[in-house]
Amino acid sequence: MISERLERLEKALAVIREKVPWVCFNLPARLRNTSNARDGWRATAKRAKTVRALARRLALSALLTASDELKFPLIVRLVYIGPRQLDDDGVASAVKSLRDGVADALGVDDRDPRVVWVPDQERGEVREYGAGVEIYLA
């Protein structure tokens, strides 16, 4: 039996394939897979706080310029961009602060069932790092 979470993810992927994003923006930040990082907790927390704040500001700006009003449910595709591919749990770890910042801008908790989060990745050139956010109206 497939869980409710996987069914929601399957429907979200169908929407992503068929629709154009309602809002999209890029983050000029290098995201890191925190599950494999060997930094101290202070450096990790500082980096997470910076990415979260930047994501929140950019998401608020993008939402303010959107033509339609915010309506739930939403699908949010979070894209890690880097020269090397990460494994699935590494991508989820790398985009966690990004997810928190976008959730702050949307005014929801990142566990809210009205928002389906889809972590993804795209391969960049050598030394090309960044992140992208695409928000779809479901």
pTM of the entire structure?
0.90
- The top-scoring range by mean pLDDT among 7-16, 66-75, 110-119 is 110-119
For residue 124, the model assigns a pLDDT of 84
Mean pLDDT of the chain: 90
CA dihedral 112, 72, 6, 29 (to 10 degrees): -70
Looking only at the bridges linking them, the beta strands covering 130-137 and 23-27 are antiparallel
* E strand intervals along 32-84: 74-82
At 104, list the tokens. Answer: 């702050």
The CA-to-CA distance between both ends of the chain, in Å, stands at 24
The answer on pLDDT for 138 being more than 90 is no
- CATH assignment of the domain containing 116: 3.30.1330
32-90: pLDDT as tens digits: 887 776 778 898 888 889 999 999 999 999 998 887 788 899 999 999 999 988 888 88
Provide the residue type at 65 as one letter.
T
- DSSP letters, 77-120, are EEEEEESSPPPHHHHHHHTHHHHHHHHHHHTS-TT-TTEEEEEE
For residue 37, the model assigns a pLDDT of 67
The domain in which residue 108 lies consists of: 4-137
Number of domains in the chain: 1
